[in-house]
Amino acid sequence: MLSEVDRLVTCQFCRVRSYLSSNGGYRYVLPHKAPADAQLIYVPYWRFKGMLFACSAAGIQHRFFDVSLAALETPQLPKSLGLRSQTLKLSFAGPDVPGRFLEPQRGRQAILADFTRQLRRDPPQAVLYQAHIGESLSLIYAPFYRGRQLMDAVLNRPLTQAPGPPLEDLAGGPSRWRLRFLATLCPQCGWEMEGSRDALALSCRNCASMYTAGLHGWEPMPFATLAPSAQRTVHLPFWRIQADVAGVALTTYADLVRLANLPRAPRATWEQTPFHFWSPAFKVRPATFFRLARGITLAFPPIPLVEELPAGPVVPANLPPCEGAEIQKILLASFMHPPRLVGEGLAGIRILPREYRLVYLPFEERHHELVQPAMRLALSKNQLALAGNL
Ligand SMILES: [Zn+2]
């Protein structure tokens, strides 16, 4: 598990350190083809990627985005990295990378506002509500050097942009960023914990506990599992989030049945059963993310959960719970009935997430798909395999 030594901030709600909440996030460099004796100057670009969900009178639109903008106001340099951030191999901008790293002139707040504006322009309909999910903000340093003229070191070609102030005059210095490695031993029993490189939480099979890397080391992660009913199952992680909803009655399962006009015969116990929002805790394409979040929230997994780690294969959780909370208003807009309520009331609805739990739900493994028959949900294995790039 990797993290940066400096500039760590923990999310107020989920206590999980997210890339976006940190002042800078991760820093990467693009590869270069400059001559060995070239004095490289690394120019910072902000990269913002994630999923965009927008709710308008026309319905709910969603898409994946991956955009970049220069962190320096210099006319001689390209305004964005174009496809380079997606097509070139990035490596961490550690102290072993020689060169001069220029300081960003445009901070995180200003750049987020720019990105949000840029993304908002796209859907032409009047947007009632917009959420960015799984977003991460990072800095990518593009290499340049001074030959007879300013050279783009990625292609080792002269830059054909307008003239501007010499890059050599701008503030900067050598890379001083390091990665911190947290020992992955269980803080409770000392056992080696399990989890993939991008996992948000590691699990200890010895004492059946889960931990996430917080500001002061490992912090317990609340979790539960829905026991499988079939043989070949894979457990997928979801966030079960309890929230205070103001502006519309949505506290119990009975409220949900009424609000979404679900064709289910009412039961007296539903008036006491608390309502939860659900959303995937793993990265997957926007359409699937939304389909799963909506499907499980409306299916309302009724079987009691156990505080145990799932047996067998598990998909790692790599999306923090505060990201899952972002989808809630979009979910509400998708099932509120009658739909006119959405246009009238969405702006007045406030959702304050209060409590979360990481819940593993069993999916049966079929030839091409993972299927949750009780909730009538499926996703292709291929999609899950490709999600590493998101
Ligand atoms: Zn343990």
Residues 174 and 228 in one domain: no
Q: Check whether residue 349 and residue 299 sit in a common domain.
A: yes
Verify that 227 and 376 share a domain, yes or no. Answer: yes
Q: 180-236 pLDDT, tens per residue?
A: 666 788 989 989 888 877 788 889 989 999 998 776 778 889 999 987 776 788 999
Examine the domain organization and report whether 34 and 144 are in the same domain: yes
Band (386; pLDDT cuts 50, 70, 90) = low
CA of 12 to the centre of ligand 1 (A): 26
Residue 369's H or E segment, with its range, is strand 369-372
**14 Cα to the center of ligand 1, angstroms:** 22
Q: Between vectors from CA 181 to CA 241 and to CA 357, what angle results, nearest 5°?
A: 10
The string of pLDDT tens digits covering residues 60-91 is 888 888 889 999 888 888 889 988 888 888 88
Q: What is the distance between the alpha carbons of residues 196 and 15, in angstroms, rounded to a whole number?
A: 20
- Residue 65 belongs to some domain of the structure: yes
Percent of the chain with pLDDT over 70: 85
State the distance between the two ends of the chain, measured CA to CA, in whole angstroms.
19
228 CA → ligand 1 middle, Å: 23
Write out the two tokens for 38. Answer: 């070239």
Residue 148 lies inside a defined structural domain of this protein: yes
Residue 203 lies in a domain: no
- In the numeric block, the tokens 């145990």 are attached to 308
Question: What is residue 135's predicted lDDT score, i.e. its pLDDT?
Answer: 64
pLDDT at 182: 66
What pLDDT, on the 0 to 100 scale, is given for residue 162? 66
User: Is residue 145 a part of any domain in this protein?
Assistant: yes
pLDDT, tens digit, 9 for 90 and up, residues 133-184 = 766 778 899 999 988 888 999 999 988 766 777 888 888 989 887 666 667 8
Same domain, 230 and 110: no
Residue partners of 299: CB distance under 8 A and separation at least 6: 374, 375, 376, 377
Residue 107 in domain:
yes
In the reported structure, the alpha carbon of residue 192 is separated from the centroid of ligand 1 by a whole-number distance in angstroms of: 8
Q: How many domains does the chain have?
A: 2
Q: Residues 12-29: pLDDT tens digits?
A: 555 554 433 333 467 889
State in Å: Cα 233 to ligand 1 middle.
24
197 CA distance to ligand 1 middle (Å): 19
Ligand 1 centre distance from Cα of residue 211 (Å): 10
> Is residue 195 one of the residues assigned to a domain?
no
Question: Is 9 in the same domain as 85?
Answer: yes
What pLDDT, on a 0 to 100 scale, did the predictor assign at position 240? 93
Residue 62 is assigned to a structural domain of this protein:
yes
* Residue 162 alpha carbon to ligand 1 centre in Å: 59
Question: How far is the centre of ligand 1, averaged over its atoms, from the C-alpha of 159 (Å)?
Answer: 55
Task: Please tell me whether residues 168 and 283 are part of one structural domain.
Answer: no
HEC profile for 284-304? CCHHHHHHHHHHHHHHCCCCC
Domain C-terminal end among 129, 148, 180: 180
To the nearest 10 degrees (0 to 180), the angle between helices 286-299 and 328-335 is: 70
What percent of the chain is predicted at pLDDT more than 90?
Answer: 27
Q: What is the pLDDT of residue 342?
A: 66
Which residues does residue 133 pair with via DSSP β-bridges, in sequence order?
Answer: 51
Q: Are residues 288 and 371 in the same domain?
A: yes
In this structure, are 232 and 169 located in the same domain?
no
Distance 195 CA to ligand 1 centre (A): 13
Would the pTM of this model clear 0.85, i.e. be above it?
Answer: no
Residue 75: inside a domain, yes or no? Answer: yes
- Report pLDDT digits (tens) over 279-308: 999 888 888 999 999 999 998 766 678 888
Q: What is the mean pLDDT of residues 245-256?
A: 91
Q: Are residues 117 and 246 in the same domain?
A: no
Residue 124 CB contacts under 8 Å (≥ 6 apart), including other chains: none
The alpha carbon of 345 and the centre of ligand 1 are apart by a number of angstroms equal to 47
- What is the per-residue pLDDT for 179? 64
Quote the ligand 1 centre to 359 CA distance (angstroms). 19
Q: Residue range 272-281: average pLDDT?
A: 92
Residue 12 pLDDT: 55
Q: Tell whether 136 and 62 lie within a shared domain.
A: yes
260 shares its domain with 382? yes
**φ, ψ at 273 (rounded to 5°):** -85, 120
pLDDT value at residue 276: 94
Query: Which of 180, 210, 231 corresponds to the end of one domain?
Result: 180
| pLDDT surpassing 50 at residue 40 | yes
The average confidence (pLDDT) of the chain is 82
Ligand 1 centroid, distance to 18 Cα (angstroms): 24
- The Å distance, Cα 220 to ligand 1 centre, comes to 11
Cα 241 vs. chain centroid, distance in angstroms?
16
What CA–CA distance (Å, rounded) separates 291 from 335?
12
222 Cα–ligand 1 center, Å: 14
How far is ligand 1, taken at its centre, from the CA of residue 178, in Å? 28
Q: Whole-angstrom Cα distance, residue 56 to residue 342?
A: 9
Taking the centre of ligand 1 as the mean of its atom positions, its distance from the CA of residue 235, in whole angstroms, is 20
pLDDT for 95 beyond 70: yes
Residue-number span of the structural domain to which 292 is assigned:
222-389
